[in-house]
Amino acid sequence: MSEIFVSTHPLVLHELSILRDRDTPPPAFRAALHRISLLLLQSATVDLPTRKVIVQTPLESAEGLTLDARVGFAPILRAGLGMVNAALEILPEAEVWHLGFYRDETTLQPVRYYSPLGEQPLPEVMYVLDPMLATGGSAVAAIRELKLHGAQQVKFVGVLAAPEGIARVREAYPDVALYLAAVDRALNEHGYILPGLGDAGDRQFGTA
């Protein structure tokens, strides 16, 4: 089954408390999401493939390592946008492939409204970015699209997850590792994570 990495880093937990607080305004929410994304992505990229290189220092030659794979990020619109700048800070040359899904509030199923995926082959390693893994519908739909278009390895990086969302991803794609700040108690009847932090998109962009 897929591995689940839940951070215990004190800085991650500090930023998570800021994100949960209902009184955190959008600018502070965006800043905390950026910082927590940096920390989570450092863990999620620890096993990227590398190859040996020889570099010339000012004094002599030295053996080093360089990345040996194309890497891409797939933020799920719109909440995933808040994680993109952090991702590009860590990997400035990575590609960004936005995926747009909205949740049908009646069925709680994802509906795709935007995808740039086509003939161009995807990077070998793709990271799905979404602060919330609630029902798991959007995550599963995004992973399906990436794999259908040639991604060899897919990982999910998020802030909060509900057990229901984790179970759905693990059942559909047992090879996809999950990197999270916390696993919360459950979903409510509207598909929101409890205790959660509310709607991550609304809280980022002040549209609650």
Q: 152: closest CA among 67, 61, 72? A: 72
Specify whether 21 is catalytic. Answer: no
Q: Does 202 participate in catalysis according to the annotation?
A: yes
Catalytic residue among 107, 112, 185, 207: 107
Name the residue with tokens 């559909």: 172
- Tokens of residue 205, six digits: 């962009």
Catalytic residue, from 20, 35, 103, 170: name it.
103
Going 46 to 32 to 165 to 182, the CA torsion angle's sign is: positive
185 given a catalytic annotation: no
Active-site position among 20, 35, 78, 202:
202
In which order are the strands placed within the sheet that holds 132-133?
132-133, 160-161, 182-183
**What gap in Å lies between CA 143 and CA 148, rounded to an integer?**
8
DSSP 190: T
Contact 111, 102 (CB under 8 A): yes
Is there a catalytic annotation at residue 104? no
Return d(Cα 87, Cα 104) in angstroms, integer: 28
Instruction: Enumerate residues 6+ apart whose C-beta is below 8 A from 166.
Output: 4, 133, 136, 178, 183
> Which sequence positions are flagged as catalytic?
103, 107, 199, 202
